[in-house]
Amino acid sequence: MGGGAPTPDTYASNKLAEISREMYGDYKRIYKPLEDQLIQITKPKFVGQTVHDAKKLASQGLQVSKGVERRTASRYGLQIDPQERRALNRASSLNAAKAITGASNNARSTAVELKRNAQMGLLGLAKGTGADALSSMGYSAGLANQRNMMNQQIYQQNQNALYNLIGTGLGLGIATFL
C-alpha cells in the first residue's frame, strides 16, 4: 500500500471519511453549543434558579416603585397621617406579595415549559441523528431501486422490440405465402 493515486476501491472510503470529518467538525462548531445550552436548561436547578431570579427582580422593581412613590409625594408636599400610612403600607405589602407570587408562578410555569421543550428538543436531536443515517440509507436504497427499475424497463423494451420483430417477420412470412 504505497503512495500514488487511490484506487477506485479506496477512493470512495477516503471520500466518505473526509465528508464524515467535515460533518463532525460542523456539528462541533454549530450544534454542540446549542446542545450544551439545552442540557443546562434540563438540569434540576434551572426551574428553582429561574423562580429565585424572578422573585429577586420583582422585589427590586417594588423597591424602585416605593422610591418613586415617596419622591412624588414629597415633591407635591403630601402629608400622610399614621393611620393612612398603615393602610397604605398594608395595601403595599399585599400588592408586593401578589406581585412576587405572580412573578414566581409565571417564572415557574415558563421555566417548566422551557425545560420540557428543551428535553423534547434533545430527544428530537437524537432521533434526528438516527433519522439522518436512515435517510441516507433510504436514499441509497432508492437509487439502487431506481437503477433496478431502469434495468427492468430496458429489458422489457428489448423484449418488446424482439416480439415486434418476430411478429413483423411472421406477418411478412404469412403474407408471402398467401
Closest CA to 108 of 43, 53, 39, 40: 53
- pLDDT tens-digit profile of 102-141? 888 888 888 888 777 777 766 666 655 555 555 555 555 5
pLDDT for the residue numbered 125: 60
pTM of the entire structure? 0.48
Q: What is the pLDDT of residue 139?
A: 55
pLDDT of residue 140: 53
With beta carbons less than 8 A apart as the criterion, state whether 111 and 50 touch: yes
Report the pLDDT value the prediction gives residue 1, as an integer from 0 to 100.
Answer: 46
Yes or no: say if 92 and 66 are a contact pair by the CB < 8 Å rule.
yes
d(CA 138, CA 28): 26
What confidence score (pLDDT) does residue 113 get?
81
Residues of the chain with pLDDT under 50: 1
Q: Which residue reads 433496478 in cell numbers?
A: 148
Contact at 8 Å (CB) between 55 and 103?
Answer: yes
| Other beta carbons within 10 Å of 51 | 20
Task: Supply the Cα-derived Rg of the chain in whole angstroms.
Answer: 38
